[in-house]
């Protein structure tokens, strides 16, 4: 009989897949006593996404429709895990979600979490989803594997594709990407160094650079100013979604969310 309290489900989001972090992530989890029971690469269609996020898609801090664009850019990696959970957690799912996943705002994700250790870039490009509790496992497993949990959870050796097992990660340079996208809009600006990532000092520097650039564009800057508030939707700036523009838009869109509580720069 399957002990559901020893099971957890994670999904590497398209930004994690394109940066090839799945193999590194599974190694990181293995060091913490978690091993994969099942693996699947799948496109997260709108129907799958509604089922996966059935209990969490309302009342969140992120725009549901804007977030959906991420899943049009590439597949996800679904991984069912097995392992023990420490005292103080109800189940392995509870442990992975509360202790290992990390805050959805990357700057608040601790180094000892998946998002903190593996380099999440913004609240949308945050690498992983994890099932919150055992109660959600069946529904989320069906959404990602098209099979019942009991069938998927049979312990077995999981053959991982070579592209997952052996391919080194390829990190996206956050601020170089942002600079390249917005330079045609605002000209050159003093963006942070990529090594700073989405840290609070880097975000403050980015906000100052963006605001200073827009001050120089009083006539052309209204639509650009609307990015930060969401008044200017992504589709009005970009005809066809692609990685660089979507990373840039979501980074600017959620600058203020990421800097809540931070001292002014």
**Antiparallel, parallel or unpaired: β 76-82 and 35-42:** antiparallel
CA distance 82 to 104: 23
Q: Is 195 exposed, middle or buried (0-12, 13-18, 19+ CB in 10 A)?
A: exposed
**List 77, 85, 103, 129, catalytic entry:** 129
Sign of CA dihedral 11, 137, 71, 76: positive
Is 85 among the residues known to form the active site? no
Q: Is 86 exposed, middle or buried (0-12, 13-18, 19+ CB in 10 A)?
A: exposed
Maximum Cα–Cα distance for the chain, whole Å? 67
Q: Is 260 exposed, middle or buried (0-12, 13-18, 19+ CB in 10 A)?
A: exposed
Beta strands in 58-179 (DSSP E): 76-82, 128-130
CA distance 153 to 161: 19
Query: How many beta carbons lie within 10 A of that of residue 116, not counting itself?
Result: 18
Q: Which residues are marked as active site?
A: 129
């Amino acid at each position: 009989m399957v002990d559901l309290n020893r099971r957890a489900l994670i999904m590497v989001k398209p930004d994690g897949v394109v940066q090839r972090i799945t193999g590194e992530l599974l190694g990181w989890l293995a060091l913490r006593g978690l091993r994969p029971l099942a693996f699947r690469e799948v496109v997260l269609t709108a129907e799958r996404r509604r089922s996966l996020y059935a209990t969490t898609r309302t009342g969140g801090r992120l725009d549901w429709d804007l977030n959906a664009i991420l899943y049009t850019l590439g597949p996800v990696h679904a991984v069912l895990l097995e392992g023990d959970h420490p005292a103080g957690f109800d189940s392995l799912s509870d442990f992975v979600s509360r202790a290992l996943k990390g805050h959805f705002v990357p700057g608040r994700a601790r180094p000892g979490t998946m998002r903190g250790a593996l380099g999440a870039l913004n609240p949308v490009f945050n690498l992983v989803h994890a099932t919150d509790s055992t109660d959600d496992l069946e529904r989320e497993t069906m959404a990602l594997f098209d099979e019942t949990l009991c069938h998927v959870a049979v312990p077995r050796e999981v053959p991982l594709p070579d592209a997952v097992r052996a391919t080194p990660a390829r990190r996206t340079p956050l601020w170089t990407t942002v600079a390249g996208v917005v330079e045609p809009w605002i000209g050159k600006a003093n963006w942070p160094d990529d090594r700073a990532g989405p840290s609070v000092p880097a975000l403050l520097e980015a906000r100052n650079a963006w605001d200073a650039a827009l001050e120089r564009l009083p006539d052309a800057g209204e639509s650009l100013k609307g990015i930060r508030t969401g008044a200017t939707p992504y589709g009005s700036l970009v005809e066809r979604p692609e990685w660089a523009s979507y990373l840039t838009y979501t980074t600017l869109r959620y600058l203020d969310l990421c800097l809540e509580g931070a001292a002014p720069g």
